């Protein structure tokens, strides 16, 4: 169900508030451009600075606007298990197809603690995608722990942002070929899929949804020569967007396309002028700007 290019959606703001009308337009644009799925209120959606009410509003808006055309994996991560359960239940109540749950950050649970955390969330009855990103959360879920969780019928896959491509094979062997593995890194997604991944939760797809979808489809079709052509067009954009926090780069790129404003919430600030220039040049190289 969860394959291909799944856009880690930005959350647009207007006058400091969530811009619901623009969010709806973004959803429709993403689907029209060929995105295979949508992932609202992850870190790229500025979930750390959204209120609980705003978080729920964004998920409901994306689900309602999508109207079943593509899957919606709602961000529901927290380092508080009770809060994670609340977010999962809220996502389930509005019809999200799954919840994306990051490994709890800062409080550094053990592997047994990770198992207990994810099983408690999965018992809510909504499919769960693990989000393993040790560079941000500090804790790393091992393939052995992931295999324990994969036995739960509602824990269906992982967004892997470890940057370790060998991990894909280890997790495939531990969890089985039906366990869904999605890359959490745009730049290495081609190698990730070659090792057994089936897609990416992509930041760059906010700016280049059509190209990212075609790239992912080429890998799913086994046409890695075609995928490399798209990779070469996209690689400068992957790099430029992440020179500073990726969501800031994505919003700036979207502003150049007239999709949304580049507004972000503190403690994030707008791109520096030098990085803006690099994003513009990368978009021109990809054929997104004249």
Task: State the Cα–Cα distance between residues 152 and 161, nearest whole angstrom.
Answer: 22
pLDDT for the residue 81: 98
Task: State the Cα–Cα distance between residues 287 and 113, nearest whole angstrom.
Answer: 47
Q: Bin 162: left if φ > 0, else alpha if -120 < ψ < 50, else beta.
A: alpha
Instruction: Please count the other Cβ atoms lying within 10 Å of the Cβ belonging to residue 94.
Output: 16
Query: Confidence band (pLDDT; 50, 70, 90) for 70?
Result: very high
pLDDT for the residue 26: 98
Catalytic residue among 131, 214, 251, 276: 131
- Annotated active-site residue 131? The verdict is yes
pLDDT for the residue 239: 98
- Statement: residue 1 has pLDDT above 90: no
pLDDT > 90 fraction of the chain, expressed in percent and rounded: 100
CB 77 within 8 A of CB 47: yes
Residues 6+ apart with CB under 8 A from 65: 23, 24, 27, 28
**First CA to last CA distance, the chain:** 36
Task: State the Cα–Cα distance between residues 215 and 87, nearest whole angstrom.
Answer: 32
- Tens of pLDDT, residue by residue over 182-231, are 999 999 999 999 999 999 999 999 999 999 999 999 999 999 999 999 99
pLDDT for the residue 52: 96
Architecture of the domain defined by 4-221? Alpha-Beta Barrel (3.20)
- Tens of pLDDT, residue by residue over 87-97, are 999 999 999 99
CB 42 within 8 A of CB 247: no
Q: Which helix (H) or strand (E) holds 92?
A: helix 81-93
Task: State the Cα–Cα distance between residues 130 and 132, nearest whole angstrom.
Answer: 6
pLDDT for the residue 50: 98
- Statement: residue 18 has pLDDT above 90: yes
Q: 25-53 burial, b if ≥16 CB within 10 A, otherwise e?
A: ebbebbbebbbbbbbbbbbbbbbeebeee
How high does pLDDT run on average in the chain? 98
Task: State the Cα–Cα distance between residues 228 and 217, nearest whole angstrom.
Answer: 12
Task: State the Cα–Cα distance between residues 242 and 256, nearest whole angstrom.
Answer: 17
The 8-class DSSP code of residue 130 comes to E
Task: State the Cα–Cα distance between residues 48 and 166, nearest whole angstrom.
Answer: 30
- Annotated active-site residue 284? The verdict is no
- Tens of pLDDT, residue by residue over 122-162, are 999 999 999 999 999 999 999 999 999 999 999 999 999 99
Query: Locate tokens 């824990």: which residue?
Result: 155
Catalytic residue among 92, 159, 214, 276: 159
Task: State the Cα–Cα distance between residues 93 and 30, nearest whole angstrom.
Answer: 24
How far out from the chain centre does Cα 95 lie?
A: 18
Q: Mean pLDDT, to the nearest integer, of 100-118?
A: 97
CB 46 within 8 A of CB 251: no
Q: Mean pLDDT, to the nearest integer, of 170-179?
A: 98
pLDDT for the residue 122: 98
* Alpha-carbon radius of gyration of the chain: 18
Q: Where are the domains of the chain?
A: 4-221
Task: State the Cα–Cα distance between residues 69 and 134, nearest whole angstrom.
Answer: 32
- Tens of pLDDT, residue by residue over 218-269, are 999 999 999 999 999 999 999 999 999 999 999 999 999 999 999 999 999 9
């Amino acid at each position: 169900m969860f394959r291909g290019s799944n856009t880690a959606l930005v959350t647009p703001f207007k006058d400091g508030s969530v811009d619901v009308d623009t969010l709806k337009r973004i959803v429709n644009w993403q689907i029209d451009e060929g995105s295979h799925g949508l992932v609202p209120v992850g870190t790229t959606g500025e979930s750390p600075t959204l209120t609980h009410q705003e978080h729920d509003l964004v998920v409901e808006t994306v689900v309602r606007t999508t109207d079943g055309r593509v899957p919606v994996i709602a961000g529901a991560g927290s380092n508080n298990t009770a809060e994670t359960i609340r977010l999962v239940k809220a996502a389930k109540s509005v019809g999200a197809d799954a919840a994306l749950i990051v490994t709890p950050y800062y409080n550094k649970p053990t592997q047994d603690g990770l198992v207990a955390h994810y099983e408690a969330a999965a018992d809510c009855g909504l499919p769960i995608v693990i989000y393993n990103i040790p560079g941000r959360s500090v804790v790393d879920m091992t393939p052995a722990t992931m295999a324990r969780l994969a036995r739960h019928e509602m824990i269906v896959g992982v967004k892997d942002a470890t940057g370790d491509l060998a991990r894909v094979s280890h997790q495939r062997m531990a969890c089985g070929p039906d366990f869904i593995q999605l890359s959490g890194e745009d730049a290495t997604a081609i190698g990730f899929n070659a090792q057994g991944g089936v897609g990416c939760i992509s930041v760059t797809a906010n700016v280049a949804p059509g190209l990212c979808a075609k790239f992912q489809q080429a890998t799913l079709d086994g046409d890695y020569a075609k995928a490399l052509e798209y990779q070469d067009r996209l690689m400068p954009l992957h790099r430029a967007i992440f020179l500073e926090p990726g969501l800031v780069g994505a919003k700036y790129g979207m502003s150049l396309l007239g999709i949304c404003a580049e507004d972000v919430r503190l403690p994030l600030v707008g791109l520096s002028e030098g990085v803006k220039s690099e994003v513009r040049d990368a978009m021109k190289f990809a054929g997104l700007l004249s």
